[in-house]
Amino acid sequence: MTSDAPHLARLLDSRHSCRAFLPDQVPLADLQAILRQARKAPSSSNLQPGRFHVMSGAALKSFTDALAAHAEQEKPEPPEYSYFPDPMPPFLHERRRGAGYALYQALGIERRDIARRKAQFAANYRFFDAPVGTVITIRRDMGAGCYLDLGMMVMALMLGGEERGYATCAIGAFSNYGRFIHAHLGLAADELVVCGLAMGKRAGDHPVNCFRTDRVELADYASFHGFEPGDAE
């Protein structure tokens, strides 16, 4: 991406799922500003779904110690909402498999090295040791469309962080232990755990931050009607 590209294009190009962070703390004022800005994301009828439980320091360590220990001992819980298609179509399974292969290849983890694969996955439950970890929830009575609105705010939060020099990683694995997280944090009865979000300064030279997943070609997901052929890039 060239330096004269639009600002949003540069942010989108630089953003990726960061899995290795520097220990530098993120100022509370920055987090508050990012969240206020992200709340400007669109939402149908201005319902503004989602709550963000942001942790750092001792509170974060207490939470991740408890979650990591629980995940090591207990199997994932029955899901409280549908995250992946079941069954997953073969073409989507290939995309998921390719992303996992790229991750483990970057870390030098062989396919049959089950112990290191498990250890890497377990890092999800420590927010990949980021200095800030957020548990994102939604009201249980919200409709499926509100997850779309919440997703737009999460993306706005990620880009707001990227703009200020903070990397992020959304962590869907938190839904595996939503009930435990809910009880540990003492959340309101009407809240459902959707995912986690790690944030902090990127450890730029770490191998896990140096690979990128592929994106499908434009023709695979978009069609255009009523345009002149000469208008295309």
- pLDDT of 111: 86
Q: How does pLDDT run across 177-211, given as a tens digit for each residue? A: 999 999 999 999 999 999 999 999 999 889 999 98
Identify whether 222 is part of a domain: no
**CATH number of residue 35's parent domain:** 3.40.109.10
3-state secondary structure (DSSP) of residue 195: strand
What's the distance, CA 38 to chain centroid? 15
Amino acid at 190: D
Tell me the residue range of the domain where 78 lies. Answer: 14-212
φ and ψ of 195, to 5 deg: -165, 175
- Number of domains comprising the chain: 1
Identify whether 38 is part of a domain: yes
Average pLDDT of the segment spanning 100-109: 91
Asked whether residue 110 carries a pLDDT value surpassing 70, the answer given is: yes
Around 28, how many Cα atoms within 13 Å sit in the side-chain half-sphere?
4
Identify whether 173 is part of a domain: yes
Neighbour-count burial for 12-32, b at 16+ CB within 10 Å, e otherwise: eeebbbbbbbeeeebeeebbe
Q: Global pTM?
A: 0.93
pLDDT tier, 232 (very low <50, low <70, confident <90, very high otherwise): confident
Amino acid at 184: H
Identify any residues that bridge with 195 across adjacent strands, giving them in sequence order.
136
Structure tokens at 81: 């909402």
Using CA atoms, how far apart are residues 38 and 125, in angstroms rounded to an integer? 24
Structure tokens at 227: 């345009």
Asked whether residue 1 carries a pLDDT value surpassing 60, the answer given is: no
Using CA atoms, how far apart are residues 9 and 2, in angstroms rounded to an integer? 10
Identify whether 207 is part of a domain: yes
